[in-house]
Structure 1
Amino acid sequence: MTSRDQNHSPARSFLAGSVSGVTKLLVGHPFDTVKVRIQTGIYNSPWACLKGTIINEGMRGLYKGATPPLIGWAFMDSLMLGSLHNYKAAMRYQMNTDNLPVWAVGICGMGAGWTVSSIASPVEHIKVNLSLPLSKY
């Protein structure tokens, strides 16, 4: 086991991924709320939507419907960073080195991306199909 492996456990990588997912939701969900409300014709502009939502619903209005994406982002980012850590540890073990070359880190990143997309892609497909108007069925 390398010194890097001793200082950085897979559990910490999965936890860091969860924190990453929560952070993305806290920053990004208000933009999604504004986008959806403009697309559905509730407001005419982003500024009017932001202003109207905060006046009528408070800041919490910008986070309506945030629970499902919160769980999804936390899980997906946890899986991505945790699997990246595990792929890198396996690659370091296989190559018998503490410092991976850039190409090896890239392969580990592709593995982590594949791991996440094998779960995220079907979930997104279902989400998109559920968001279609009933007349499409």
Structure 2
Amino acid sequence: MSSPEEAQNEGSAEVYSSSYEHRYANYIAGITSGAAGVLAGHPLDTVKVRLQTQKTGQFRGTWHCFTHILAKDKVRGLYKGMSSPLSSLTLVNAIVFGVHGTVAKQFSDHQAIFTHFVAGCSAGIAQAFVAAPTELLKLRVQVQDGPRQYRSPYHCLRCILKENPSTLTRGIWITQLRDCPGLGIYFASYEYLARKMSKDGTMEALTSLQLLMAGGLAGMLSWLFNYPTDVIKTRYQADDSIKTYREVIHKAYAENGIRTFFCGFGSTLLRAFPTNAATFFTVEWTYRLLLDYDLLGYIQQLSMTNGKRRRQHLHRPDDP
């Protein structure tokens, strides 16, 4: 027979789990975490993109690239193109966490590590339709190193829509190839690490530091497996003259061999930790706030009320 303290822990863990699976909670947490992740990691994302698309020998490493950007464009150079991911990643993360939660609920053991892996893979495929176009806009602003063709991601979008709208679909398939396994590893490793760090194996027992560590390490692990694919995607999206992925691979390999596919890897790992630490920290605290203030019940009640009003409006008898 369990003690009162154990029973309380079991009950709270069950409630916390139910919030994690709530459809509104997943989407709300995704929205808030998207903004947090961008603010924490965009400067090093700019460094990563510049390293991936550099001419041979332009930068000696992450620090050299970082100081070059600061010297040429000041601090604002590190935040080039941030408006695109800041607005879009709220939607992307809403899709990621929403799809992940929805798919996980379809499994009989929806808390198993394998369940989180499959749900993460599904989220990776779904979010690519939004992530690929917005990443294309972001990186085309980031790679400018001289006279600026684009003033912002939105200016880039207007130019593309005027010249060739189909450019926005460029790189969707390679984004799915990157993010399907990447997000599977991301969610599975986060769940595994979080449970190992938790004193009783439940998410709500995690301290703030443990949340940050689990999220940051999960982000780094996901990049270990999909970084070369990201290099191919970045180069393909940045240069319209390249017609096939095979051409990207051949050109990249001709420059500096296999090392080309790991160019900027250090800055990516540096960026991955704070970005994903902030992301999962925000996700978990959003879930907790939704529970503490019973916001889930309020949102659900509001949704039911609005739905009832719409049905009443649709079935309202005609006025005489």
The separation in 1 between residues aligned to 2:72 and 2:111, in whole angstroms, is 53
Greater RCO (Cα-Cα under 8 Å, separation 6 or more) = 1
Unaligned runs of 5+ in 2: 1-13, 137-168, 172-232, 244-320
- Is 2:32 the partner of 1:22? no
Match of 2:118 among 80, 87, 107: 107
Write out per-residue CA displacement over residues 38-62 of structure 1, whole angstroms, 9 at most, x where no aligned residue. 5158x64443443344355443321
Is the counterpart of residue 77 in structure 1 residue 93 in structure 2?
yes
Q: CA deviation at 1:13?
A: 1.5
Q: What is the letter of the counterpart of residue 41 of structure 2?
A: G
Q: Identity percentage over the alignment?
A: 24
Residue in structure 1 matched with residue 105 of structure 2 by the alignment: 89
Unaligned runs of 5+ in 1: none
Partner of 2:309: none
Q: Pairwise CA RMSD of aligned residues?
A: 3.6
2: CA distance, partners of 1:135 / 1:102 = 39
Tell me which residue corresponds to 2:127. 116
Residues of 2 paired with 1:31 and 1:107: CA distance? 29
The TM-score normalised by the length of structure 1 is 0.62
Task: Tell me by how many angstroms 1:24 deviates.
Answer: 3.1
Asked if structure 1 preserves the Cα contact closer than 8 Å seen for 2:88 and 2:131, the reply is no
Of 65-74 and 120-129, more deviation after overlay is shown by 120-129
Q: Which residue identity lines up with residue 170 of structure 2 in the other structure?
A: I
- CA shift for structure 1 position 81: 0.7
Instruction: From the superposition, tell whether residues 55 and 79 of structure 1 become closer, same or farther in structure 2 (CA, over 3 Å).
Output: same
Cα displacement (A) at 1:135: 8.4
Deviation at 1:34? 2.6
Aligned to 2:26: 13
CA contact (8 A) 2:23 2:98 kept: yes
Q: TM-score, normalised by structure 2?
A: 0.32
Say if 2:26 and 2:98, in contact at 8 Å, map to a contact too: yes
Structure 1's 57 and 131: CA in aligned 2 closer, same or farther, altered over 3 A?
closer
CA distance in 2: counterparts of 1:53 and 1:104, whole angstroms: 42
